[in-house]
Amino acid sequence: MPTHLTTSQSDFEQRFAEVLSMKREDAADVNDAVASIIADVRERGDEALVDLTGRFDRLTLDADGLAFSSEEIAEHVAKVSAEDRAALTMAANRIRAYHARQMPDDVQWTDPEGATLGWRWTPVSAAGLYVPGGQASYPSSVLMNAIPARVAGVERLVICVPTPDGVVNPLVLLAAELAGVDEIYRIGGAQAVAAMAYGTETIRPVDKITGPGNAYVAAAKRQVFGRVGIDMIAGPSEVLIIAEGEQNPEWLALDLLAQAEHDADAQSILITPDAALAEAVVAEVERLLPTLPRAAVAGASWRDYGTVIVTRDLDEAAALSDRVAPEHLELCVDEPEALAEKTRHAGAIFLGGWTPEAVGDYVSGPNHVLPTARSARFSSGLSALDFLKRTTLARLTPEALGAIGPSAVRLAASEGLSAHGLSVASRLRSLNGEKE
Amino acid sequence: MPTHLTTSQSDFEQRFAEVLSMKREDAADVNDAVASIIADVRERGDEALVDLTGRFDRLTLDADGLAFSSEEIAEHVAKVSAEDRAALTMAANRIRAYHARQMPDDVQWTDPEGATLGWRWTPVSAAGLYVPGGQASYPSSVLMNAIPARVAGVERLVICVPTPDGVVNPLVLLAAELAGVDEIYRIGGAQAVAAMAYGTETIRPVDKITGPGNAYVAAAKRQVFGRVGIDMIAGPSEVLIIAEGEQNPEWLALDLLAQAEHDADAQSILITPDAALAEAVVAEVERLLPTLPRAAVAGASWRDYGTVIVTRDLDEAAALSDRVAPEHLELCVDEPEALAEKTRHAGAIFLGGWTPEAVGDYVSGPNHVLPTARSARFSSGLSALDFLKRTTLARLTPEALGAIGPSAVRLAASEGLSAHGLSVASRLRSLNGEKE
């Protein structure tokens, strides 16, 4: 049974705190196993990749077979139906258009003291994208990770995707092609992350690694962080829907179930001031749940983590949502923009009943890689900015140094850093000498 | 002796690779000790803070004494000289002006299909800044961390600064005041990080923790990451200077020494096509080094990690710099803007001989918290953006869902996520029904 709360009940605060602190993930401690795999790849390179792929993916390769050839890619991609290709192409185009708007401008100005200041953005040189194999091998995730990198101007874009028992998802290869990926390797797990971070004979190292994966992949990303940049470590997914009035209970139920079917650890929350709507939605969930192919997964998620909260009004709903800081926030209300203004913390907001979260997973344009587990309080979804870095720029004229340099000398003295002070003072002496 | 290389020598590539892979930091493994401290603070709250502060900082407090009162702050701040106050105020104003320019705009547009898309930026609600105690207690770091948070609109700004044996740096408190910090606690180490991440009876938790610290602080930040956001874990500092022609060898030597005096693990690199200049700078370093109060530290850094490289030309120097991806890059050349265009990877660039790196540490305006250890390949210095997060927005009209929804249904089917597809299809049925 999902959790049912009403904000007017006397123990609401305590029970809501329990919802907030639900631990939905028991991360297995695989750190030692992952450290051994990384050390092996660093030491033996391609040979380690071949051995580990044989062991974990039951796939016999030699080093020449690590990469998909362009002929192999073409052969797999040819199997994709025209309808799937059209849908994936529309998604790629919309995602590209959205992320292109994220590209920031370089900025430069000269201040009254004569200091020319600013910054510029440059792309990372090479990025690697991890794509899970098997059932979690989602072509949409390839687009969501690879397109922002390409939009940012990353020169070299690499994918690692395991092919257990040799099974390849042609849509993943098509997504890679549509996104403009340069190299695709049929390796997975911690060994793939190690290869992208440190390089092997066949795979040159990258500067940034993104993409979802299992506990081994997540642990490997944590361990190589610093050597390369990584994206956030994603936790189980969640949706929070605020609904009122005349919303269609079937639509809301399906939106809750769409989240729940991802993973037994996923969480679906409905908040509404309308107790009758809450009841109707729960009834629809119960009616629809058994009809789903993934009923076992969705049912476990709904039973263990599903939550329905009846509030006094929409303002109270917005305040509760901010305490959850959900990955996905659906505002199925008459004036969604006004309600959005009353919230601060969410990865993505879906405004109005005609914007189901599922269109955001595929085709609306914004990224579907979003902060989970309340981290929308302090972080953002994946964007072109994640594949760019900013270099600050400063140029002083002699006069500008004359104006602001003495303060630097003073502060260096207060921090006991004499060479800092001397490096400025030596120039100030020349400046004053020149003036004489 | 620093390392001397010439790009024309036959073993240059090998020797340069050695410079790139120099391990400058032996991070002590304090993970277990830190995990115990964090667990203690989570369990016992203020009581643990009082005990640990007594043990590590030899300071007897009760819970009421954890925070500096406004009277205490005023009393300490009154000790600051007018000159120091003026210098710190100039620094604060310039840092504020620079970071205010970083504030990004919210963006929204409607595409041809009728989807209104965009994103908005909101600040994190509360940020915590760690400030080291003792000799590394730098008021400039307080400004560099706190001002971007305030500029971003963070509502609640907290500082933790240990005061070993009760010693307080009045300039740190003044910097906090100038930056607009709300709460200051006299606690340090892993216990301060734990208190800010999880909260105690006295200290409410924050959403993001930034600031430098020792191995315990760094390990604690890694361990609480996910619960809160953190900034990068900083490694030892480095400068790379590209110089030519008529540059003043004393200035360059002092810039190299200013980096070296930070830490025996700091690294100073000079790259120049002018062998005579290289020699002159090395001679100046040797002349000036013994005169520095921090000669022992600077001397160890210069001996172990100092590097001088003579290149064929400036283009070659720029290419080598990109392989280092230095935290600080000084371009002491006649046309620094043109040379900057030839580099891609640096935390901050200082253009021309009148822009010593030390002015950037204090008063030029850009942030001095910058990516170290080659991480400028994929990351940026601290900025107002680090205290903001982006929420993506989407609103579809029924017609827009009609146009793009079918592709989402198709892709959901290809990924085996039927409730995703149904959540869109159910709406499409209503839409088509309405049209009939």
Lowest mean pLDDT among A51-65, A87-101, A168-182, A222-236: A222-236
Range of the domain at A120: 31-230
B412 at interface of A, judged by CB pairs closer than 8 A: yes
Could you say which residues from 36 to 55 on chain A have a Cβ atom under 8 Å away from some Cβ of chain B? none
Residue B76 in marked binding region: no
Between positions 105 and 144 of B, the ones with CB within 8 A of A are 107, 109, 111, 115-117, 119, 122, 124-125, 135, 138-140
CA–CA separation, A186 and B80 (whole Å):
63
CA separation for the pair B352, A397 (Å, rounded):
9
- B172 within a domain of the structure (yes/no): yes
As for the ipTM of the complex, it is 0.95
pLDDT at A190: 97
Is residue A185 located within the same domain as residue A258?
no
Q: Determine which of B422, B426, B428 to mutate to test the interface with A (most A C-beta atoms within 10 Å).
A: B422
Instruction: Please tell me the distance from the alpha carbon of residue B350 to that of residue B240, in angstroms, as a whole number.
Output: 10
Cα-based distances in Å from A11 to A14, A16, A19, A384, B327? 6, 9, 13, 44, 53
Q: Are residues A79 and A203 in the same domain?
A: yes
Asked if residue A340 and residue A429 are part of one domain, the reply reads no
For residues B97 and B161, membership in a common domain is answered with: yes
Catalytic position from the list A183, A238, A261, A327: A327
Q: What is the pLDDT of residue B36?
A: 96
Does residue A23 belong to any structural domain of this protein?
A: no
Domain contains B392: no
Mind listing the pLDDT tens digit for each residue in A357-404? 999 999 999 999 999 989 999 999 999 999 999 999 999 999 999 999
pLDDT band at residue A193 using 50, 70 and 90 as cut-offs: very high
- Tally the domains of chain A: 3
Q: Do A362 and B250 touch (CB under 8 A)?
A: no
Contacts of residue A351 in chain B, CB cutoff 8 Å?
116, 393-395
Q: What are phi and psi of B264, to 5 degrees?
A: -60, -20
Instruction: Answer yes or no: do B281 and B415 share one domain.
Output: no
Chain B residues within 8 A of A350 when measuring between CB atoms: 394-395
Q: Sheet containing A328-332: which strands, arranged edge to edge? A: A3-6, A307-310, A267-272, A238-243, A328-332, A348-351, B388-396, B115-123, B107-110
pLDDT in tens, A397-411: 999 999 999 999 999
Inter-chain residue contact B405 with A349, CB threshold 8 Å = no
Encode pLDDT of A155-187 as tens digits: 999 999 999 999 999 999 999 999 999 999 999
Asked if B38 and B131 sit in the same domain, the reply is: yes
Question: Is A288 a domain residue?
Answer: yes
Residues A195, A275 within the same domain: no
For residue B136, the domain's CATH number is 3.40.50.1980
- Decide if B116 is inside a domain: no
The letter for the amino acid at B162 is P
State the pLDDT confidence band at A434, using cuts at 50, 70 and 90: low
Would you say residue A436 has pLDDT above 70?
no
Q: What share of chain A is helix, strand, coil (3-state, %, to 5)?
A: 50, 15, 35
Query: What is the model's pLDDT at position A133?
Result: 87
Q: Give φ, ψ of A108 to 5 degrees.
A: -150, 140
Give yes or no: residues A221 and A244 share one domain.
Answer: no
Written as six digits, the tokens of B375 are 């991480």
Whether residue B338 sits in one domain with residue B430? no
pLDDT score at B26: 65
Please tell me whether residues B412 and B431 are part of one structural domain.
yes
When comparing pLDDT for A422 and A26, which is higher? A422
Average pLDDT over residues A329-339: 97
pLDDT of residue B436: 42
How distant is the Cα of B103 from the closest Cα of chain A, in angstroms?
12
Q: Is A327 a catalytic residue?
A: yes
**Catalytic (active site) residue A328:** yes
What is the predicted pLDDT for the residue at A432? Answer: 83
Give the one of A294, A391, A416 whose C-beta lies nearest to B347's C-beta: A391
- CB contact at 8 A, A151 and A221: no
Q: Kindly give the parts of chain B with pLDDT less than 50.
A: 436
Residues A253 and A164 in one domain: no
Is residue A105 a part of any domain in this protein? yes
Look at residue B386 in the predicted model and tell me its pLDDT.
Answer: 97
Q: Are residues A212 and A358 in the same domain?
A: no
Burial class (CB in 10 A: 0-12, 13-18, 19+), B165: exposed
